[in-house]
Amino acid sequence: MYVLDIDTVKEQLTMSMAINAIEALLKVQSDHPKWVKTPERLVIPTFEESNNHANGSHLSMPSVVFDGENEYTVVKLVSICPDNPKRGKPTTMATITVSDNATGEILAFLDGIYITQVRTAALSGIATKYLAKQDSRVMAVVGTGGMAYEQLNAILTVRPNIKQVNIWNRTLQVAHKFENKFRQEYPQWQVDFKVYENIADAIKDADIINLATRAKTGLFEASQIKPNTHINAVGAYQATMKEVSNSVIEASASVIIDDVKGGLHEAGDLIQAHNDMNCSWTWEQLTGTLSDLVTEKVRIDTNENKGITLFKSVGAASFDAAVALKIAQKAKEEGLGQLVKL
């Protein structure tokens, strides 16, 4: 078994690798549905909301993947700890195991924090690739927690012509910290940053908006954004959370989700819109899935008149599996990490 810590994973995993791995997985799932088995994740709430703790959750996310020759089981164990930033730790803590189903042997044990960040961002990158205007120039980053760094990296990977990045966070100091850290750790992207105190100013000229928050109500209305904006919404991961307002959802010409089954329980934005009698949007109006975009079952013309497009991400174990399996196979081929015999 190869053990790979977060530093080793970071050295090996690139955003392009993750995007390609997930797109390949989505095509395999479409062509061979039985090759990828992903049961619904187990979610256990942790802590009651109090002055001492924010409520979090523990997730168990298994997936079985057959690549045409071999079959693997990939399991991610996740703890979401909203108080962690105060401790100098990521909100999402995770580990991943990759096993060979022929023998049951564990091939690799990987730190899952960075894989989770990159695969989540890769999903937004794929959605942006198929939904955002080709000539996008301005992006808004709303919410600057641990996930936001790779989210921005993913968007710039698929839309490298972006020149302006507007940043908004409830805490202005955290927004400035995000800017400084991104400049240092991602020097390949030469973009201009501007931090805004008012979210309306940050989003009004954006071609692409990335949301990654724990908001309980919609952060802005459709009237506040451009008519052809693309939105990636990766926060609001519980039914009680909401960062995309009903007016934005109703105004969206296309609404895409990565995992419908998971979304029915966890996509707070869409769940609340569907359940609101004063909102015209329902699940029946969902345009399609990320798989539909990649396999071209759904085609969106990314020209100037495409309308507002919304991508809602809840994640699925199969996406982690696609990325982790690439790293595990590379570790075996190249002897990466630490070899441990059990």
pLDDT, position 92: 87
pLDDT digits (tens, 9 = 90+) for 57-77: 999 999 999 998 999 999 999
Give me the phi and psi of 212, to 5 degrees please.
-150, 75
Q: How far apart are CA 252 and CA 230, in angstroms?
A: 9
Q: Could you tell me how many residues make up the chain?
A: 342
User: Of 140, 117, 166, which Cα lies nearest the Cα of 243?
Assistant: 140
pLDDT at 342 over 80: no
Cα(164)–Cα(96) distance, rounded to whole angstroms?
36
The confidence score (pLDDT) of residue 32 equals 96
265-286 pLDDT, tens digit each: 999 999 999 999 999 999 999 9
- The average pLDDT across 285-307 equals 93
Contact at 8 Å (CB) between 217 and 273? no
Percent of the chain residues past pLDDT 70, beyond the cut: 100
Give 190-230 pLDDT, tens digit per residue.
Answer: 999 999 999 999 999 999 999 999 999 999 999 999 999 99
Q: Could you tell me which residues are beta bridge partners of residue 141?
A: 167, 210
Asked whether the beta carbons of 271 and 242 are under 8 A apart, the reply is: no
Say whether pLDDT at 47 is over 80: yes
Neighbours of 3 (CB within 10 A): 16
Cα separation, 270 vs 241, whole angstroms: 10
Is the confidence at residue 150, as pLDDT, over 90?
yes
Asked if residues 145 and 91 have their Cβ atoms less than 8 Å apart, the reply is: yes
The distance between the two most distant Cα atoms of the chain, rounded to a whole number of Å, is 60
Q: Identify how many contiguous H helices and E strands the chain contains and give both numbers.
A: 12, 16
pLDDT of 171 above 80 = yes
Q: At what angle do helices 15-31 and 146-158 cross, to 10 degrees?
A: 80
Q: pTM of the entire structure? A: 0.93
Q: What is the mean pLDDT of the chain?
A: 95
pLDDT band at 341 (very low <50, low <70, confident <90, very high): confident
Nearest to 121 by CA among 192, 21, 200: 21
From residue 321, give the alpha-carbon distance in Å to each of 74, 112, 125. Answer: 5, 11, 18
Distance CA(2)–CA(20), nearest Å, equals 23
Sign of the torsion angle spanned by Cα atoms 133, 137, 142, 143: positive
Beta bridge partners of 59: 43, 78
Tell me the three-class secondary structure of 278-301, residue by residue.
Answer: CCCCCHHHCCEEHHHHHCCCCCCC
